[in-house]
C-alpha cells in the first residue's frame, strides 16, 4: 500500500477507502503493521483516522447467527441458482450496500461541512461594555455595576441579582423549555451564578453564559463563551452539558474549568474532580473521557486535540482571587490581566518571550501586579494615558 496518498485524505476519504475499511473491520497482520506505522509517521492524521474508524463501525450492521436448520435450508435453496445468478445477486447486494453507505456519508459530510450552526445560541460580545447584564427570555435587560455579582435562578423562574429580584412575565411558563436567559460579564467584572438545580458557576471577565430558565426532563445544557468554573450538582438521570463553539462537555456531577475565549488559540477544559467527557462540537464526534488532573485542549488553527496531566490549581485559582503561574509567557499573562482588570496592556516589544512563575494576588491594583512580574524579569512597566507598557 502506498502511504503517500493518505497524507492529504479527509475523514470521508478514509471511510470510502477499501484498504482502510478492511483494516478497521477485519485487520490482519499486514494491514495492522501498515496503519500502525502510518499513525506513528503522521500523528497529525490521528483525528481523521479515529473519526473514520468510528463512522465505519457505526455504519456496520450486525445480524444474529442463524439457527443450523435455517442455514441448511439456505444452502439447499442456494443450489437452485446458477453461479452466474448467485454472482449477480452478490453484486446487487454490494451495489445496494454501497448506495446506502454513500447516502449516509453524504448526509454526514453535509452536516460537518455546511451546518455551521453547531453553536445554536447567539451570544453577544461581552468584552467592552461598562456594566454586566442579564437578559431574560422576554427581552427584559437588567444591568449591574458591581465588580463581583451574585446571581441566583430558582426553579419557579425567580431571578435574584445581588439583592434585586426579577420575575419572568406570565407567558414564560415551565412549559416553555426553550426560554433562555443570558448573563453577560464584561472585562473587569466577575459573577457567581447559582442555577435552579443548585449548580454553581463562576463566570470570569469577558464571558457570556446562556442557560434555560427551566431545564428539560432529560438534560441540563448551558452555552459558554469565555471562561467559567463549574461545580455541578449530581443527577445521573439528567446529565449536564457545557457547550462552546469548539467543544461539548458531558457531566453528571463534578468540578471543572472551561476556557473558550474567541480570540484565544485554544479551547480547553481541566477536570478538578469527578469525571467528564469532552468532544468536538460537531455531529457524531467521538468523545474523550477525562480523569481528575487531566486537561483536554483543542487547537483551533491546527484542529488538533491534545490530552495531558496538569496542576489543576493553575486553572482554578482565579476563582479564589489569585493567579498561580508556572513558566507561562508574559504576553499570555498580560492577556489574562487585561480581561481581569479591564485595562490595556501592551507587551509587543518583549521579543524574547520571557516566562514567569509565581503567584499573583488579584486583590492588588494592576500596576502593583505588573511590577511584581517585572521584578522577576528583565523588563519594566510604564503607564501612559491609562495604558500599561511592558518594556525591555
Looking at residue 134, what DSSP letter applies? E
pLDDT of residue 168: 62
pLDDT of residue 36: 87
Q: Tens digit of pLDDT for each residue in 92-111? A: 545 555 555 665 555 555 55
Residue with cell 441579582: 161
Taking the CA atoms of 8, 11, 17 and 18 in sequence, report the sign of the dihedral they define.
Answer: positive
Q: Tens digit of pLDDT for each residue in 277-315? A: 998 887 667 788 999 999 999 999 888 889 999 999 999
Q: Report yes or no on whether pTM surpasses 0.75.
A: no
- Assess whether pLDDT exceeds 80 at residue 29: yes
Grid coordinates given for 220: 441540563
pLDDT, average across residues 46-57: 81
Grid coordinates given for 373: 512580574
- Assess whether pLDDT exceeds 90 at residue 188: yes
CA 303 to chain centre: 12
pLDDT of residue 11: 80
Looking at residue 213, what DSSP letter applies? S
Q: Which domains does the chain have, with CATH numbers?
A: 4-114 (no CATH), 132-313 (2.60.120.1440), 321-391 (3.55.50.30)
Mean pLDDT is lowest, of 173-187, 200-214, 266-280, 291-305, for: 173-187
Amino acid at each position: 500500500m502506498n502511504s503517500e496518498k493518505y497524507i492529504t485524505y479527509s475523514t470521508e476519504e478514509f471511510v470510502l477507502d477499501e484498504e482502510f475499511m478492511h483494516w478497521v473491520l477485519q485487520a490482519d497482520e499486514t494491514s495492522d503493521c501498515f496503519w500502525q506505522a502510518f499513525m506513528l509517521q503522521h500523528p497529525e492524521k490521528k483525528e481523521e483516522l479515529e473519526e473514520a474508524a468510528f463512522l465505519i463501525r457505526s455504519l456496520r450492521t450486525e445480524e444474529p447467527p442463524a439457527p443450523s436448520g435455517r442455514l441448511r435450508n439456505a444452502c439447499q435453496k442456494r443450489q437452485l441458482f446458477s453461479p452466474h445468478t448467485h454472482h449477480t445477486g452478490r453484486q446487487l447486494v454490494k451495489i445496494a450496500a454501497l448506495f446506502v453507505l454513500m447516502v449516509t456519508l453524504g448526509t454526514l459530510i453535509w452536516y460537518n461541512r455546511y451546518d455551521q450552526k453547531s453553536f445554536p445560541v447567539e451570544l453577544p460580545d461581552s468584552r467592552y461594555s461598562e456594566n454586566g447584564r442579564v437578559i431574560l427570555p422576554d427581552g427584559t435587560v437588567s444591568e449591574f455595576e458591581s465588580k463581583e455579582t451574585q446571581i441566583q435562578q430558582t426553579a419557579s423562574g425567580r431571578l435574584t441579582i445581588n439583592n434585586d429580584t426579577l420575575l419572568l412575565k406570565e407567558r414564560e411558563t415551565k412549559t416553555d423549555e426553550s426560554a433562555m436567559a443570558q448573563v453577560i460579564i464584561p472585562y473587569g467584572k466577575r459573577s457567581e451564578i447559582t442555577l435552579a438545580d443548585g449548580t454553581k458557576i463562576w463566570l470570569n471577565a469577558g464571558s457570556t453564559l446562556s442557560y434555560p430558565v427551566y431545564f428539560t426532563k432529560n438534560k441540563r445544557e448551558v452555552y459558554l463563551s469565555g471562561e467559567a468554573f463549574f461545580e455541578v450538582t449530581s443527577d445521573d438521570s439528567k446529565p449536564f452539558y457545557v457547550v462552546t463553539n469548539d467543544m461539548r462537555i458531558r457531566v453528571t456531577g463534578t468540578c471543572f474549568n472551561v476556557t473558550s475565549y474567541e480570540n484565544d488559540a485554544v479551547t480547553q477544559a481541566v477536570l478538578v474532580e469527578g469525571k467528564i467527557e469532552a468532544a468536538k462540537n460537531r455531529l457524531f464526534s467521538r468523545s474523550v473521557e477525562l480523569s481528575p488532573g487531566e486537561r483536554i485542549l483543542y487547537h483551533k488553527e491546527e484542529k488538533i486535540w491534545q490530552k495531558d496531566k496538569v496542576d489543576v490549581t493553575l486553572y482554578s485559582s482565579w476563582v479564589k482571587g489569585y493567579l498561580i503561574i508556572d513558566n507561562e509567557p508574559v504576553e499570555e499573562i498580560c492577556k489574562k490581566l487585561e480581561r481581569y482588570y479591564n485595562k490595556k496592556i501592551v507587551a509587543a516589544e518583549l521579543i524574547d518571550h520571557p516566562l514567569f512563575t509565581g503567584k499573583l494576588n488579584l486583590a492588588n491594583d494592576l500596576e502593583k501586579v505588573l511590577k511584581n512580574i517585572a521584578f522577576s524579569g528583565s523588563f519594566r512597566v510604564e503607564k501612559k494615558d491609562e495604558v500599561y507598557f511592558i518594556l525591555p
